[in-house]
Structure 1
Amino acid sequence: MNLVIVGCGAAGATAAQFARKNDRKAEIKIFEKGKYPEYSKCALPLVISGELSPESVIEFDEEWFEKSNIELHLNTEVSSIDFDRRVVTTPDSEEKYDSLIIATGASPFSPVKPGGRTYFLRSLDDAVAIRKEAERSRKAVVVGAGLIGLEVAEALVKIGIDVTVLEFMPDLLLTMVDRDVARIVRERIGNDVEMLFGHRVTEIKEGERMEVAAVDGEGREVTIKCDFVIVAAGNRANAGIAGNLSSDGRAIDVNERCETSVENVYAVGDCTRYRDILGNDIQVGLGSVAVRQGIVAGTNAVGGNRTMPPLVNARTTKIFGIEIAAAGPLNMEHMLTGKFNGSTLPEYMGGEEIFIKVHADKKGRILGAQAVGPGAAQRIDRFSLAINTGLTLEQFMDAETSYAPVVAPVIDASYIACEIAGRRIR
């Protein structure tokens, strides 16, 4: 068995790891165009803030690959793939494969032509460069108030940078949570960072100081001067090398085994598109999903048999001290909805505020949930399991949960949110 993997990010490295676990004799080669082995891209904002060193975020170093008998080629970009001949081409060689896993990731998107001291955060080198720029700067503009944009904004605020966030959408995190939940997050953030919503960036000008021009929803222009700019306006799948494996040229279509339309060719991570719990095809964009795809593809590429359930997209972050988490599709207000603002502990223990929102279909089957507050991620993980296993609101509430006044309430806020949603069934 000769397995070739294109890309050594979270998905590609995990695929190699599980291929090796399932086949000790397979010849495994990874071709990575960057200079680093697998590292945590989700931890890059912590490199900017100085809370982590660049070296500490490398999860699988070159020694690990060597010990695992996996041939790692860094600084080596695959230029083409011949699916008929089962050959990948690099600058130095042609490599034959029996199975191929494409893990080429995604690249940042910019709404305007970037200029001068404009940065994106997609790689470890990007994080190091932003940190160096921040050390000689006072003012920054972040374009985009999504998960990455706000994590970067927080990192810069931590090291004393004055930050303005410009967002085209009417509120923050609208690809992560519903608008009513976004409003709760924004109110809790308060004045920690300046945010301007409904502003479309029209130009980034280079000069002694950078200038970012934007227009609001009523056509009024605003110009912000700064020392540098970070664009966090989303990513586009790196699917060009895949040819006709993409139905629309944007992302690579995969099935539950992470197989593409070509036999023995798999794809994983941010370059792929897969179905969610409602049957909609969506682009993969979470590191957690990429790792799980890597497990599936790595196992199957060497003869195993594993499958991926439909995507729930369980997601979480913590910005400006506020924990936020969600699972399932957004904007399902037409479904049964329950909202509750409760406490993480019994009232007499002085717990902290926790907000829960849950969606279910007309039969009570749970389809999504969102949470803001301490322990949000743990609560959403319970909802994620409920969604994956098809639990109803009543079944979720029937689950026995632990209780101690110093740790958890008898009845959690997530139970009460489900109860409120369930009242609409009757």
Structure 2
Amino acid sequence: MTAIKQKPGLYNIVVTHYVLAACCFLILSVMMLLSVKAFTGHYFHPHILAVTHLAALGWGTMIILGASYQLIPVVLETNLYSIKLAWLSFVLFVPGMAGLIYSFWVFVPGIHMQCSAILLLLSIVLFTVNVFLTGRKKQQQTIQEDFIFSACICLCLTVALGVALVFNFTLQLFPQDQLHFLRIHAHMGLVGWFLLMLIGVSSRLVPMFLVSSYQETRLLTWSYYLIVGALLCFLVDAYFSGLSNRNYLLLLVGGAGLSCYFIFLYKCLRSRLRKQIDLPMLISFLSFIILKIAVLMVPFIIYFHLKHNPATLRFSMAYGQLMFMGWITPLILGQTFKTLPFIVWLRHYEHLTGKFRTPMPSDLFAGHLLKAQTIAFGIFCLTFMPGCYFMFIPLIYTGGAALVITALLYLANVGIVIFHKTRTYGQL
């Protein structure tokens, strides 16, 4: 990460995204606690829509955008194109996100919801332009670049379809049912944006953090083409036909692509020089186990949907929770304390390297808070998700309370890292 010279102002834009994402996570946990009864009903409930979009935009996307400004230049081995574009994207993103979530919560379709959606789209377009211009000067294209650029395109398409769906509330743009396009919108975001971006960035960072000697990219190439191919076929098929028996085959192709990535991770683990796996990396690897569980639920969703079985609703709700709260959330909870401490460490200690004894990046956060956060989140997973599936309100309340505690501990630990004061232990 130190090979690329930092642009002035990069640190501020990155840290601002991390802080706001942490605050959004706390707000998200409170909103989930206030919406307990909604989680026993249909996923098109206004409160569920608001919570889902806060999880996707304010929590997941916000922190990925911030980390991207620091990590994408590392992955692409070049400088970020423009700090000003990053700030402009942020300034448009925040009110757009806040306005959209509030409009969903009170469910008042109209001009405010539409303007908020347009602000979000403009913000994402600026982010994508910034990423493409960042990678434009790179001569040799890598598979990580393919993952990242494809993810950015999918993010733009996801938000653009979201804008159309918002206008469809009042203008009836689509002849089909709103839920028909909501399925396309959700999977374009989950697979096209989150999965492709996380694979693209992590395929460089995981070997780096593990100090792995494994450098082969053939598995990543297979992973990219299988996942993207399956996603494109699904989007076309879902638009014209909805869910069908063909989705079993597409799931098999996409699952093969995901398996290639898991094998890549396994090979990185096998060849690592750093034998001890720290807690942030352990949390990150556990999140991918939950991703596997979520993917294994998809055949049941397809089967019950084709049979018009009402169990589809509960399986779909569980699938969404596993993807957002079981996969994306613990991945962020873990990787925050690998990436953010290093970013802060670079600012405080890079110029002191070789002159003074300095703390390690892992010394910048409170280990006991991370352990407590992990326990609280574990309680959330073991109570909230089963509670929603079995519609048992006390379990859902317990899980919601545990998530609030998780968010408070996470926010406190992020604050400890960001407000770290430079200290040395004497000259070398």
TM-score (norm 1): 0.30
1 or 2, which has the higher helix percentage?
2
1 or 2, which has the higher strand percentage?
1
The structure that has the greater radius of gyration is 1
**Greater relative CO, 1 or 2 (CA 8 Å, sep 6+):** 2
TM-score (norm 2): 0.30
